[in-house]
Amino acid sequence: PQHLREFSDMGQDINHDECPNLVAAFVYQQQHPGTALGTSFSYPLILERGCTFDSAIATFHAPSDLSGIGEMF
């Protein structure tokens, strides 16, 4: 199930108080591709809440091992 939460609360859970600013920077970069992100630039906080999920799966592959541990896709 998903839970609607505030980004500031999510950041506190993972001891990263910059979570709202990081989300704002990500959204800004997605909306303005090719624009360099600066550390002193203040991004508009357009999102205040997002959904978290109880479980997630991530798969990583090394560039030198494209087939992974199983087989080629």
- C-alpha span between 31 and 51 (Å, rounded): 20
Task: Kindly report, residue by residue over 15-70, the tens digit of the pLDDT.
Answer: 988 888 888 888 888 888 888 777 656 777 766 788 777 776 777 666 776 665 66
Task: Output the pLDDT for position 52.
Answer: 76
CA-wise closest residue to 24 among 39, 6, 42 = 42
E strand or H helix at 2: strand 2-6
pTM metric for this prediction:
0.56
Is the per-residue pLDDT at 9 higher than 80? yes
Task: Output the pLDDT for position 11.
Answer: 86
- Neighbour tally for 27: CB within 10 Å: 15
* Entry field: residues in the chain: 73
Task: Output the pLDDT for position 68.
Answer: 59
